Amino acid sequence: MGEKEKIGTVFTYFSKIGVAGVRLTEGAMKVGDTISIEGHTTNITQTVESIQTDQGAVESAGQGEEVGIKVSGKVRNHDSVYLIAE
């Protein structure tokens, strides 16, 4: 596993559809990136398969944006989101 860089924080989780709301406070993400979501009881590493914004599906999102991403497990508010460098 490569270097890890914090890019944002989870602000909500939609359990019925398995989607995390992520506020990108310190970086950007794009479809295909490997990310890690970490918190007190959370430790998920996965590939970003899709990113949703208010405008719909996008290929990438930058610092300052709020996005929805499909996650492979339960996440919690305030979990940190890291980009893992390949």
Which burial class, exposed, middle or buried, applies to 18 when counting CB atoms under 10 A from its CB (0-12, 13-18, 19+)?
middle
Ramachandran quadrant class, 54 (left: phi over 0; alpha: psi -120 to 50; beta: rest):
alpha
Predicted model pTM: 0.95
Q: Is the dihedral of CA 28, 60, 64, 70 positive or negative?
A: negative
Q: pLDDT tens string for the chain (86 positions)?
A: 579 999 999 999 999 999 999 999 999 999 999 999 999 999 999 999 999 999 899 999 999 999 999 999 999 999 999 999 97
Residue 77: how many CB atoms within 10 A of its CB? 12
Domain containing residue 59: 4-84
CATH of the domain at 40: 2.40.30.10
Counting the structural domains of the chain, the total is 1
